[in-house]
Amino acid sequence: MADQRKGSRVERTSVELFAGGGGLAMAVSNAGFRPLLLNEFAKHACRTLAINLADPVPDGVLPTIPAPGQRPPLVSGDIQSLDMSYLAEAEVDLLAGGPPCQPFSLGGIAKGDEDKRNMFPEMFRAIREIQPKAIICENVRGLLRPSFAPYFRYILNELALPFEKRDPDSTWQEHNALLIKRLAETQDDPRKRYVVRPFPVNAADYGVPQIRHRVIIVAFRSDLDVDIDAFAASVRPEYSEAALHRSMLDDDEGNPGSYWVRHPDVPPHVRDRVVARLPTSPLLDDGRKPWRTLRDALSGYQGPGKENLPPVPDIPDEWLDRVDRKPNGFTHHVGWPDARIYDGHTPNERDRPAKTVKAGVHGVPGGESVMLRDDRVKDPTAPGGWRYKHRYMTVREAARVMSFPDQWEASGPRGEQMRQLGNAVPVLLGEVFARAVATALEKAENQE
């Protein structure tokens, strides 16, 4: 197969599990992979996928491999009842997915491998049935907590040897000991072993206008001889906080920094507040691009050399009434009343990347989805005698900071839409890794 592909780029294929609202699926598609199958359990997320990406498969009907140009089949429901063995002959290039993260999340109950919501075993079963060339698996940074470190190493070992099935009567510790022993031995069939590398990431370092710490696990089938170190170099971050700070400082002649040139309508009191909090120590040039901020996202600025998007209209006070006006054609851009700021739910500031969009389990719609406005009112109890007004971010604004396209439509009420965004992979982050996987496969298959 490799010989047939030498000298030309080919259409690559993918399978997406735990697809949620479609962030990683869109990223993989943008990177040039043709999806063959999507699977998701949550009802509203399935409806969202059906609106945007895939065609639902009726209950009791077996999915088939779509022809080029066709939308992929969407199998709704429990992955544990999904037979994926029919995909083995398709030579799937990429298996992608984010197994439910609640077992490992700081916001969840943190039972880890004992939690029935832990779907990593189903990811390993999919690998055995499909034997993909590459795997992208995204999850919360909680997997790297010291209390989970031994189990995380077990996940990596099982991903490296997914065909060494665990005995139902054995503990994960016993199975891990067996995997460690097998990994030290010569593997007879390299198609049944994977080279695995985890990547702790902050989405802001990849151009996403949001602070979002996650871990992305990438694996390549051993028979392909992918240069994993070269792959790691290809996904090094290109954006930084220091570069953002530098862009906010005046130059030696007193001219405003490029950030304020890009946003000339920012009130002077906002700019002064932001600049006053910048580090006083010299900011070294790290050669990276500035982090994108919430203001960048809402204004449509996508980064150096990229075409800007239309700005998202602001929501004035009189629109905080749950009425869907679709300003300038933007859907899901509905003002929501009664936003509060309190301990543990501090607001987003426009001249920083947004805080992590959460999945709506923290007592307010969408978690910490409040943002400060540019306008302020006098308040003798506030520092400086002024208090900045605030409101909830809209679903469309949250989608912007998740780098979802403006055409994305979500199913369900507002809280459910925010939950889908909070559970998703930012499209730009996923796209960086998916494109790097495609390049790594291309290089490996064109080796002499």
Which single residue is written with the structure tokens 């984010």?
A: 98
pLDDT per position as a tens digit, 330-365: 999 999 999 988 877 789 999 999 999 987 644 444
Give a yes or no: residue 365 inside a domain: no
> Residue 236 and residue 202: Cα distance in Å, rounded?
11
> Residue 424 and residue 28: Cα distance in Å, rounded?
13
Q: Cβ neighbours of residue 437 under 8 Å, at least 6 residues apart?
A: 31, 94, 134, 136, 218, 231
Name the amino acid, one letter, at 66: P
State both tokens at 357. Answer: 């969009």
Q: Give a three-class secondary structure readout of the chain.
A: CHHHHCCCCCCEEEEEECCCCCHHHHHHHHCCEEEEEEEECCHHHHHHHHHHCCEECCCCCCCCCCCCCCCCEEEECCHHHCCCHHHHHHCCCEEEECCCCHHHCCCCCCCHHHCCCCCHHHHHHHHHHHCCCEEEEEEEHHHHCHHHHHHHHHHHHHHHCCCCCCCCCCCHHHHHHHHHHHHCCCCCCHHHCEEEEEEEEEHHHHCCCECCEEEEEEEEEHHHCCCHHHHHHHCCCCEEHHHHHHHHCCCCCCCCCHHHHHCCCCCHHHHHHHHHCCCCCCCCCCCCEECCCHHHHHHCCCCCCCCCCCCCCCCCHHHCCCCCCCHHHCCCCCCCCCCCCECCECCECCCCCECCCCCCCCCCCCCCCEEEEEEEEECCCCHHHEEEEEEECCHHHHHHHCCCCCCCCCCCCHHHHHHHHHHCCCHHHHHHHHHHHHHHHHHHHCCC
Q: What is the pLDDT of residue 114?
A: 54
Q: What percent of the chain has pLDDT over 90?
A: 78
Q: How far apart are the first and last CA of the chain?
A: 13
Question: Looking at the 3D structure of the chain, how many domains does it have?
Answer: 1
Q: Cβ neighbours of residue 287 under 8 Å, at least 6 residues apart?
A: none
Q: What is the pLDDT of residue 71?
A: 97
Give a yes or no: residue 253 inside a domain: no
Give a yes or no: residue 322 inside a domain: no
Give the distance, in angstroms, between the CA of residue 395 and the centroid of all CA atoms in the same chain. 16
| pLDDT-derived band at 8, boundaries 50, 70, 90 | very low
Q: What is the pLDDT of residue 192?
A: 94
Q: Cβ neighbours of residue 425 under 8 Å, at least 6 residues apart?
A: 23, 24, 27, 98, 138, 214
- For residue 222, the domain's CATH number is 3.40.50.150
Is residue 231 predicted with pLDDT exceeding 90? yes
Give a yes or no: residue 172 inside a domain: yes
Q: What is the pLDDT of residue 272?
A: 95
Give a yes or no: residue 361 inside a domain: no
Give a yes or no: residue 208 inside a domain: yes
Q: What is the mean pLDDT of residues 191-213?
A: 97
Half-sphere exposure in the Cβ direction for 92 (13 Å, CA): 26
Give a yes or no: residue 96 inside a domain: yes
Q: What percent of the chain has pLDDT over 70?
A: 92
> Residue 107 and residue 232: Cα distance in Å, rounded?
29
| pLDDT-derived band at 119, boundaries 50, 70, 90 | confident
* Domain enclosing residue 163, as ranges: 2-238+423-445
pLDDT per position as a tens digit, 376-432: 999 999 888 999 999 999 999 999 999 999 999 999 999 999 999 999 999 999 999
Write down the mean pLDDT value for the chain: 91
Q: Cβ neighbours of residue 349 under 8 Å, at least 6 residues apart?
A: 274, 294, 371, 372
| pLDDT-derived band at 283, boundaries 50, 70, 90 | confident
Give a yes or no: residue 413 inside a domain: no
Instruction: For 436, list phi and psi in degrees, rounded to 5.
Output: -65, -35
Is residue 31 predicted with pLDDT exceeding 70? yes
Number of other CB atoms surrounding residue 265 within 10 Å: 7
Is residue 281 predicted with pLDDT exceeding 90? no
Under a CB-based contact definition with an 8 Å cutoff, are residues 275 and 249 in contact?
yes
Under a CB-based contact definition with an 8 Å cutoff, are residues 24 and 38 in contact?
no
Name the amino acid, one letter, at 54: A
Stated pTM of the model: 0.93
Number of other CB atoms surrounding residue 385 within 10 Å: 10
Instruction: For 375, list phi and psi in degrees, rounded to 5.
Output: -85, 155
